C-alpha cells in the first residue's frame, strides 16, 4: 500500500529564507507526483506536476525535484514571503500501466513565513 | 467554466438528514474525483469517474455514500442519514483524462457540518 509522508509537519521561518519541504513515498511505481498549496478554508491549488520520467520542475520561486528510485521529492521555495504561508501537500499517482490511478496524499507541511 | 465549481460552499445539517453536494468540473475534463478532508487528517479518496466507464467506488466509507455523474459532466455526492463523523470538507477535482498524465484541478470544497 502506497504511503506518503511529509516532513516536517510544521515549519516557521523568517521572511527571505530559502526552505525545503520533504516528501517521501513507499512505492516507487508512480506515474507522477504533484505538489499543492492549501490556504485555510480553501481548496487545493496545484503548484507543480512532475512526471515519473522527469527529475525536476520549476515555476517562479518554486522548484520541485523527484528521485523516484529512492521514493523522495523536495519542494524548494526561494526567498520566502509571508504570502507563501499555507499548507503544502504532496501527492503521488500510482502507475497502473497507463490506466486510472488515484492520488495518494501526504498530510502536508504547514508553513508560516514571518515578516 | 474556468475552474472546478462546488456548491454549496458550506452546509450545516442535522444528524440523520440527507445531503447532496454538487461538483461542476472544468469543461472537457473527462475524469472527476471526490475526496474528503477531515480535521487534522489527510485527503481521503472517495470515488472516481472516467467518461462513461463504471465509477471506481472503492473509497466510499459506507453504503450511506453514493455519487453520480450525469452526462459526463456535473456530479452529485449524496450522503444519507448523516452522522457527526461525516463532518469534513468534501473536495472535488477534475482532470483532462484519467490516464494519469495530467494533473488534477480542485474546487474550493464544501464544508459539511453535522450537528
pLDDT in tens, B22-49: 999 999 898 899 999 998 778 999 998 9
- Per-residue model confidence (pLDDT) at position A99: 41
Q: Which of A102, A107, A108, A109 best tests the B interface by mutation, with the highest count of B CBs <10 A? A: A102
Contact yes or no for B106 and A45 at CB 8 A: yes
| Most confident by average pLDDT, A81-90, A91-100, B29-38 | A81-90
- Per-residue model confidence (pLDDT) at position A98: 41
Q: Which uninterrupted H or E stretch holds B57?
A: none
Which residue among B50, B59, B106 places its CB closest to the CB of A100?
A: B50
For residue B49, the cross-strand partners are B32
Minimal Cα distance from A108: which residue of B?
B42
Q: How far is CA A21 from the centre of its chain?
A: 7
- What is the spatial distance between Cα A50 and Cα B100, in angstroms, rounded to a whole number? 11
Contact yes or no for A103 and B45 at CB 8 A: yes
Q: How many beta carbons lie within 10 A of that of residue A16, not counting itself?
A: 11
Establish whether the linkage from the previous residue to B30 is cis, with ω within 30° of 0. Answer: no
All three cell numbers of A5: 509522508
Amino acid at each position: 500500500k502506497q504511503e506518503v509522508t511529509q516532513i516536517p509537519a510544521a515549519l516557521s521561518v523568517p521572511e527571505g529564507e530559502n526552505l525545503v519541504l520533504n516528501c517521501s513515498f513507499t512505492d516507487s511505481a508512480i506515474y507522477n507526483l504533484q505538489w499543492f498549496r492549501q490556504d485555510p478554508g480553501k481548496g487545493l491549488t496545484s503548484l507543480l506536476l512532475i512526471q515519473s520520467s522527469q527529475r525536476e520542475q520549476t515555476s517562479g520561486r518554486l522548484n520541485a525535484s523527484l528521485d523516484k528510485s529512492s521514493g523522495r521529492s523536495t519542494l524548494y521555495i526561494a526567498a520566502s514571503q509571508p504570502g507563501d504561508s499555507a499548507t503544502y501537500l504532496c501527492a503521488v499517482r500510482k502507475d497502473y500501466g497507463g490506466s486510472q490511478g488515484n492520488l495518494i496524499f501526504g498530510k502536508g507541511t504547514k508553513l508560516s513565513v514571518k515578516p | 467554466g474556468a475552474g472546478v465549481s462546488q456548491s454549496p460552499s458550506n452546509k450545516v445539517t442535522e444528524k440523520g438528514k440527507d445531503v447532496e453536494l454538487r461538483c461542476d468540473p472544468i469543461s472537457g475534463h473527462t475524469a472527476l474525483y471526490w475526496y474528503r478532508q477531515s480535521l487534522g487528517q489527510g485527503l481521503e479518496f472517495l470515488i472516481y469517474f472516467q467518461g462513461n466507464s463504471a465509477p471506481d467506488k472503492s473509497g466510499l466509507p459506507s453504503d450511506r455514500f453514493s455519487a453520480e455523474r450525469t452526462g459526463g459532466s456535473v456530479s452529485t455526492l449524496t450522503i444519507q442519514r448523516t452522522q457527526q463523523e461525516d463532518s469534513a470538507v468534501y473536495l472535488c477535482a477534475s482532470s483532462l483524462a484519467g490516464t494519469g498524465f495530467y494533473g488534477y484541478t480542485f474546487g474550493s470544497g464544501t464544508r459539511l457540518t453535522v450537528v
